[in-house]
Structure 1
Amino acid sequence: MGRFIEGYDRSQSLLLPACVDDYVLEEALVRVVDAFVETLDLTALGFERTVSAATGRPGYHPGDMLRLYIWGYLNQMRSSRQLERSCRRDLEAIWLMRRMTPDYRTIAAFRHNNPEAIIRTGAAFINFCRETGLVTPG
């Protein structure tokens, strides 16, 4: 029998914790999504809850939810349950959400509460991609 490449022992601890950023390529589209959302004025676009409430449980920032939604759309994931799973399994989603894992109801509520703002943002993202040469008109 020949030799095979062996993986690491899953139960072995690391001396230095791995940085999730090291696993996402510099040219990955997820970084474009992150940079794009960072430039947006979410209040002007009409997103709800852009200012956190003084009382109650803190919610997810609409920018984080928007990042997840755009990334999911680009990866053909429309289901909030698929997006929830991706936040636990997919390194790009884990990186994008900074290890936050919203449940599917929260993701669905964001989509339900911000339909017009999401449509406007989607159009702006397409224009951004065209202007930067990421996609060609056609």
Structure 2
Amino acid sequence: MEKTNTQKDYSKNCNVYQLVLPVNTEILIPQNDSVRLLSQILEEIDYRNLEKAYSHLGRNPVVSPKTLFKILVYAYMNNIYSTRKIEIACKRDINFMWLLEGQKAPDHNTIARFRSGKLTEVIEDLFYQFVKKLGELGEIEYKNIFIDGTKIEANANKYSFVWKKSTNKFETKLQEKIKILINKINDKFGKQCKRTIKDVLIAMGR
């Protein structure tokens, strides 16, 4: 009995998309792209505390902890917080592929376990090192303090205002502020989060 193929033929124009080897993502990323600066800075960070969270008895992770951290930071810089969207970016976005350096794109479960598990205990230390490196390179300064909020004066009390001293006193609580910001990002898992990694860096630079 003759079989009828009902599947549409998507290969009739295949010659248009012939693969040319070698595929080198290095030449596709501009020298002044922010992903290069990010990678350079994160290469100089000490990851020993993060590596301690992994067992040395089992098999090696498909994607190294350092690379996963790079992926997360770059995703946050681009307002990507959903682990599923990060997974898609690793498969489709040339900058994420460049960060992977030939490693297999992590799935969303791997990213979620890393973010909510392995990274939790060392996130403060890693971001402290990150901001310190940015300061050493002159990419950020510590001259200004930015308050994330809006104050609207009510007609019922026109003398309501905030003294400068009441904002300065919170500078000593830098580490606690970092914890709160990171936890807020984690609490927004799977939702649209308005807080970006830039907000974290500004807060840490107080």
TM-score range, shorter chain: 0.7 to 0.9
User: What code does the residue aligned with 2:122 have?
Assistant: A
The number of residue pairs the alignment matches comes to 126
Question: The residue matched to 2:121 in structure 1 has which SS?
Answer: helix
Shift of 1:26: 1.1
Residue 107 in 1 paired to residue 111 in 2?
yes
User: What code does the residue aligned with 2:105 have?
Assistant: T
Structure 2 distance, partners of 1:111, 1:82, is 14
Question: Residue in 1 aligned with 2:37?
Answer: 32
Residue 83 in 1 paired to residue 86 in 2?
yes
The runs of at least 4 aligned residues of structure 1 exceeding 4 Å deviation read none
User: What code does the residue aligned with 1:101 have?
Assistant: A
- What TM-score comes out, normalization by structure 1 length? 0.77
Structure ID, larger Rg: 2
Identity %: 25
Stretches of structure 1 lacking an aligned partner (at least 5 in a row) = 1-8
Residues 35-74 of structure 1 aligned to structure 2 (within 5 Å): 35-44=40-49, 48-49=53-54, 52-53=56-57, 55-56=58-59, 58-59=60-61, 60-74=63-77
Is the alpha carbon distance of 1:87 and 1:103 closer, same or farther for their aligned partners in structure 2, counting shifts above 3 Å? same
Is the alpha carbon distance of 1:133 and 1:90 closer, same or farther for their aligned partners in structure 2, counting shifts above 3 Å? same
Question: Residue in 2 aligned with 1:4?
Answer: none
Structure 2 distance, partners of 1:112, 1:20, is 30
Stretches of structure 2 lacking an aligned partner (at least 5 in a row) = 1-14, 145-206
Structure 1 distance, partners of 2:50, 2:17, is 46
CA deviations on 1:19-47 (whole Å, 9 max, x unpaired) are 11011111112112222222222124676
Question: The residue matched to 1:115 in structure 2 has which SS?
Answer: coil
CA deviations on 1:54-88 (whole Å, 9 max, x unpaired) are x44x3121101111011111111111111101101
- Output the aligned Cα RMSD: 2.2
